[in-house]
Amino acid sequence: MSREKSHAAFTRAKRLMPGGVNSPARVFAAVGGEPIFFQRGEGAYLFDIDGNRYTDYVGSWGPMILGHAHPAVVEAVQAAAGRGTSFGAPTLAENELAELIIDAVPSVEKVRLVNSGTEATMSAVRLARGYTGRPMIVKFAGNYHGHVDSLLVAAGSSAATLGVPNSPGVTEGTTRDTLVLKYNDVDAVESAFAEHGPRIAGVIVEPVAGNMGCVMASLDFCTALRELTERHGALLIFDEVMSGFRVAYGGAQGLFNITPDITTLGKVIGGGLPIGAYGGRTEIMDKLLPAGEVFQAGTLSGNPVATAAGIATLTVLRDTDPYQDLERLSTRLANGLEQAAATAGIPLSIGRCGPMMTFFFSARPVTDWDAATRCDTRRYAQFFWAMIERGIYLPCSQYEALFISTAHSEHDIETTVAAARQAMAEIHKTKTQEVMF
């Protein structure tokens, strides 16, 4: 499979952009080699600039639940762009998208549209602090909430630790009020509230994590978060930027039957265009300017093109309710991969929530960041490239989730499973040869 044009494009890009990319997730650092440059998408498929076709399981990292270039979304975007791309003033489309979100997510009574998931989480944290008058935020290792300074921290242990910045440019001062705990560890949360309860403004958590691979929070963990935040007067923030409208129409909170105080959204609600949102109870959201005093603003927030794509996407999801079919396809893919790995004698553990999953090259289930880091990332890289050569495009990191769309067919799943069988056998053969020599 030739990728000469992609190589030339990447060589040029490195002269123009840091590392040759506009987001580090695209650079293939975790799997080696060079990124593929794409020209177009259609349904479940991507086409690169060398003319190769791939069955796509990245879906622009989640938003493309209807597949690429869905007719309803394309038509809505074209119509909106023809009327003007931005006014910096209210539009009816903002009302319509807000109503769709509020109707779908029971915990949201009012919503504020922004431009990205990072903006949504940043604003939700500010709102939690402004509403409670407290400084401290609890987050969990392996949960990614965008590149917000105060949340771009890692944990040192399973106990509560003060956040240590893990990026140059993020100062200790910006993370001083961030506590980082172990995901799915109820005891750690209880200890944190016992020690810091009166200072904790909120707990932010991904109910379905996607950036240490797909890892679900346990029901006991989510229930404990809800009970502890209520008991101590803190707010519970569900970061559903990735899981919202992806694992279920109302998000993961509907699956858990947990009602957070604030929910952050993104990805699917924009149908592939840049957008984010955060919402919650009226009394909390009315603390925002201009109703209240907590500042947040954005020139392009709720712009007509992004809202048009979001309205079209959510309307199709609401009217067709594809989640049962997505679950069926997802189950078939997971079972097929497990069988392929078992046949090849390769340890594999699959993390999954509906049409969102990760193939962990590990003999044990992954429930937190520590377990994720013990996976065989070298073997994942081998699997990634073996699947690329067979026309299957997977996330370029063991620590990213893959996504199934409504555009994927039974045939796509069967083709992917067949490719995985070949790839697993190839990896096993390579490993055997390495041992022999």
433 versus 203: the higher-pLDDT residue is: 203
pTM for this one?
Answer: 0.94
At residue 164, does pLDDT exceed 90?
no
Rounded distance between C-alpha atoms, residue 243 and residue 63, angstroms: 10
| In the chain, ranges of CATH 3.40.640.10 domains | 71-320
Quote the pLDDT of residue 157: 32
Is the CATH code 3.40.640.10 the one for domain 71-320?
A: yes
At residue 156, does pLDDT exceed 80?
no
Radius of gyration of the chain (CA): 22
Report which of 223, 218, 193, 200 is spatially closest to residue 208, judged by C-alpha positions.
Answer: 218
323 versus 160: the higher-pLDDT residue is: 323
Per-residue pLDDT reduced to its tens digit, 401-426: 999 999 999 999 999 999 999 999 99
Q: Which CATH class is domain 4-69+322-436?
A: alpha beta
At residue 154, does pLDDT exceed 70?
no
> Which residues make Cβ contacts (< 8 Å) with residue 42, sequence separation at least 6?
67, 68, 69
Chain-centroid distance of CA 421 in Å reads 27
Which residues form the catalytic set? Answer: 144, 239, 267
B/e letters for 408-418, b = 16+ CB within 10 Å, e = fewer, are beeebbeebbe
Please, what is the average pLDDT of the chain?
Answer: 94
At residue 51, does pLDDT exceed 90?
yes
Quote the pLDDT of residue 165: 59
- Measured in degrees and rounded to the nearest 5, phi and psi for residue 11 equal -60, -45
Per-residue pLDDT reduced to its tens digit, 271-296: 999 999 999 999 999 999 999 999 99
At residue 21, does pLDDT exceed 50?
yes
Residues in the chain: 437
> Which residues make Cβ contacts (< 8 Å) with residue 98, sequence separation at least 6?
111, 113
DSSP E strands, 226-266 = 235-239, 262-266
Quote the pLDDT of residue 160: 37
At residue 159, does pLDDT exceed 80?
no
| In the chain, ranges of CATH 3.90.1150.10 domains | 4-69+322-436
% the chain with pLDDT above 70: 95
Quote the pLDDT of residue 166: 61
Per-residue pLDDT reduced to its tens digit, 243-254: 999 999 999 999
At residue 136, does pLDDT exceed 90?
yes
- The dihedral built from the CA positions of residue 48, 52, 58 and 62, taken in this order, carries a sign that is positive
